[in-house]
Structure 1
Amino acid sequence: MPDEAVVEPTAGPIVKPLPPELFDVHGSCAEMRWEAMRGVGYHVPADRFFVRNHTRTPVIDAAAWRLELHGSGLRAPRSFGYRELLALPSVTRDVLIECAGNGRRFFTDQQHQEVSGTPWRLGAAGVARWRGVPLAAVLKLAGITPGAVDVMPRGLDPCYVADGVDHGRVRRPIPVAKALDDVILAYEMNGEPLPPDHGHPVRLVVPSWIGLASVKWVGDIEVSAEPLSSPWTTEFYRMLGGEHPPGGGPPLTVHDAKSAFELPWGAVLAAGRPHVLRGRSWSGRGRITSVEVSVDGGASWRPALLHGAHVARAWTRWHVTWNPPASGSYTLLARATDETGATQPMESPYNELGYLFNAVVRCPVRVINV
């Protein structure tokens, strides 16, 4: 393990500044405020990209870092230094990364169901332009065998301890078919080297899957001819409770559809004048094909105008114009449909850990006379 590359972390769990106009902080995690994206563009700048840490951000010396590839699914286990990786042919892709618990708070606030975990609204998601080496290329250089089944990256962040149990470093197996398809070993974010909080020097980017799979600060990858598991597939990131199987559902993979307004929570708007309501929708299952917006709590709906890029692994921007007729409290809703025909429901299936909330979110606004 390349532990010598890890420098003593900073005093707090997150390195970058967390100004309150950009973030809501949840312990070792930081949620992007959606109003921070208004007028910013398609990609989320690194200074406002959400942070999901199980422990704390390590500061890693790229010159000392190495990526170790090992396991029974390789013919020629080997390691790569940072400069070696940068010298390989690269790809650049727009990809959304989203925490599996994004929207968890609405199980409680909207559906009045008790769940555990970080109480995210919708700010634990973001699209960036990632550049790196296809994982497939690195696996082939290490001699991946036809019998390989699973690929498990492991991070260099501190071990995760919960309820007195040391679960080790964050790691999560990926089936070989996915690993060879579209996974990237990324070293750039929006044209710059990865910042510490987002995986410097190298992280995985696993398109369309829950954020856990996109392991940050990756230090080694096990390639196995036998199925692999970790606490992040056996104890966490599975559907438990409700109508799910007694032992829990399978490990989570693809993230569900969501929509968010680029507004402060509880925004205040002026009556009697037009407002352009902007937002973004996304789905791990495919491109967004339509978005509908309601300004009266769901009593009526009208189509939003989609504009800009429609990237399957990222998100789609949209807007509608609304002229609130009178002062008072209103509830805004947005629901997306993706290319599989799936539309966001009005209620999300319950699970104890609050994963994959995909229901239409009820966004409160207050209209005042000015």
Structure 2
Amino acid sequence: MYPRDPFFKNKPYLTTRSLQPDNQETPIHFLENGETPTGLTYRRNHFPFPTLSTKSYYLTITGSVKTPITIQYNQITTMPSRTVTAVVECSGNKRAHFRPKVFGEQWKDGAISQGTWKGVPLFHLLQIAGVQDSVHEVVFEGNDSGIKKGQHVPFVRSLPLKKAMEHDVIVAWEHNHKQISPKHGFPFRLIVPGWYGMASVKWLKTIRVVDHPFSGPFQTDDYVYYPHKNNNEEAVPVTVSHVNSIIQQPLDRQILQLGQHEIKGLAWTGEGVVISVEVSVDDGETWKTATLHGQPRQFQWIKWSYSIVFEKNREYSIKVRAYDSNGHLQPDTAFWNQKGYGYNAVSQIKIKVE
């Protein structure tokens, strides 16, 4: 009778990287559904959670606009809405895999989740305010703030105007069909599908339209690719998510029994869609095409699988790589950079068969 008791039911939990601030990974190896449950959605924070309420909450749009506006929470939630299911991936996802190693939160494979977001398209709000012809960027400020390099700063990021006006960029108030949770951006979160998660500003309070390039600690210092170890030359900003994949099962260094097994996982990309996934069980000597499950959809990951009969008393080096519709392929070696962003080298594990 005891195994049927709900108390004994096995279930995954977030993997904690730090508590102050709260940084926790999604147990991505054990997810089956296309929508990551809110309680298992990864959390990436630079500062403590803000405490907010919808009773007196409003969003301001200011700067180079014809009509600066202040919109109450209840007003925004009655505006024309759009629902977007999208991967949100931290740009530091898989940082722990870089060689040579880099400093920063040592994320493994779980700084990524997929959810359904509902909100008002950003372009609709900007149209109401009336964007001036001289506008260069749109700046987004969250309610989270804290000490960075000795100064008290808020989390602020910007988008080029062209990106900000895309219809899938939304100011969301719902996540997975419920009000956004306080740990994931309540009451409002900017959602920028296809870009790494730093662009999807949480606890959004101010939108400022500017006629010049924005500069700030989370825009021109953090979230920048610095390709050289000892200088900041040839630096470029972190933007679109790279084509990537993960092997969910088997797990790395797992011991399997003789017989047929299914290698399975997820693949995703920031622009276009994943069109193919290949699997190698001989350390990249030969590659076989995996089966994609479902129709590839923009901004969403796709499940893949490959069945194989493993031989007894052997070790296997399994590799996986994904291709997208824009001609991007996971590289053998990730683009190394000082802060460890955008890791997307060929996914690989080793297993042993008894």
TM-score normalised by the chain length of structure 1: 0.87
Structure 1 Cα separation of the partners of residues 196 and 14 of structure 2: 21
Q: Pick closer, same or farther for the CA change 1:202–1:30 going to 2, 3 Å.
A: same
Shift of 1:208: 0.9
Q: Is contact 1:132-1:184 (8 Å) kept?
A: yes
Q: Which residue of the other structure, out of 131, 137, 140, is the alignment partner of 1:153?
A: 140
Q: What is the match of residue 130 of structure 1? A: 117
Structure 2 Cα separation of the partners of residues 227 and 183 of structure 1: 20
Q: What is the match of residue 355 of structure 1? A: 341
Shift of 1:336: 0.3
How many aligned positions are there? Answer: 341
Structure 2 Cα separation of the partners of residues 211 and 32 of structure 1: 14
After superposition, the C-alpha distances for 1:189-225 in whole angstroms (9 at most, x for unaligned) are 1111111111111100001111100000101111112
Shift of 1:186: 0.7
- Indicate the SS of the match to 1:274: strand
- Indicate the SS of the match to 1:136: helix
1:272 equivalent in alignment to 2:258: yes
| Residue type of the alignment partner of 1:81 | Q
| Residue type of the alignment partner of 2:205 | G
Shift of 1:54: 0.8
Percent identical among aligned pairs is 31
Q: What is the match of residue 36 of structure 2? A: 44
Q: What is the match of residue 193 of structure 2? A: 207
| Residue type of the alignment partner of 1:31 | E
TM-score normalised by the chain length of structure 2: 0.91
After superposition, the C-alpha distances for 1:91-131 in whole angstroms (9 at most, x for unaligned) are 11111111111111111xxxx30311111122111111111
Q: Is contact 1:33-1:264 (8 Å) kept?
A: no
Q: What is the match of residue 327 of structure 2? A: 341
Q: Is contact 2:142-2:201 (8 Å) kept?
A: yes
Q: Is contact 2:253-2:350 (8 Å) kept?
A: yes
- Indicate the SS of the match to 1:35: helix
Map of 1:1-370 to 2, 5 A cutoff?
A: 21-27=12-18, 28-37=22-31, 40-71=32-63, 73-107=64-98, 112-159=99-146, 161-166=147-152, 168-181=153-166, 182-242=168-228, 246-263=232-249, 265-266=251-252, 268-367=254-353, 369=354
Q: Pick closer, same or farther for the CA change 1:320–1:97 going to 2, 3 Å.
A: same
Q: Is contact 1:271-1:327 (8 Å) kept?
A: no
Q: Is contact 2:250-2:264 (8 Å) kept?
A: no
- Indicate the SS of the match to 2:163: helix
- Indicate the SS of the match to 2:124: helix
Q: Is contact 1:96-1:127 (8 Å) kept?
A: yes
Structure 1 Cα separation of the partners of residues 295 and 43 of structure 2: 25
- Which consecutive residues of structure 2, in runs of 5 or more, have no partner in the other structure? 1-9
Shift of 1:264: 6.7
Q: Pick closer, same or farther for the CA change 1:96–1:300 going to 2, 3 Å.
A: same
Residues 148-157 or 292-301, more deviating: 292-301
Residues 270-279 or 302-311, more deviating: 270-279
Structure 2 Cα separation of the partners of residues 243 and 55 of structure 1: 27
Q: Is contact 2:65-2:209 (8 Å) kept?
A: yes
